[in-house]
Amino acid sequence: MRMEELAQEPAGSLPGDGISSLLKGRSLQELEVLWQQAKQEYP
C-alpha cells in the first residue's frame, strides 16, 4: 500500500488495529516524517 493510498483511506478502514491506532491523531506531515525515518532505518 502506497502512502497516497494510505492518506486517502479513513483510519477505521485500514487493516489491523495497530495500524489504525498508530495513524489516529497523526497529521499528514507527521506521517510523512515517520515514513522518511522508517525508509532510512529500514532500507
What is the tens place of the pLDDT at every residue in 1-43? 566 765 665 655 555 556 666 667 677 788 888 888 888 887 6
pLDDT value at residue 41:
83
End-to-end Cα, the chain, rounded Å = 17
Collapsing DSSP to helix, strand or coil, 25 comes out as coil
pLDDT value at residue 17:
59
The residue length of the chain stands at 43
- Which three cell numbers mark 33? 516524517
Report the distance separating Cα 32 and Cα 18, nearest Å. 18
Q: What is the 8-class DSSP label of residue 43?
A: -
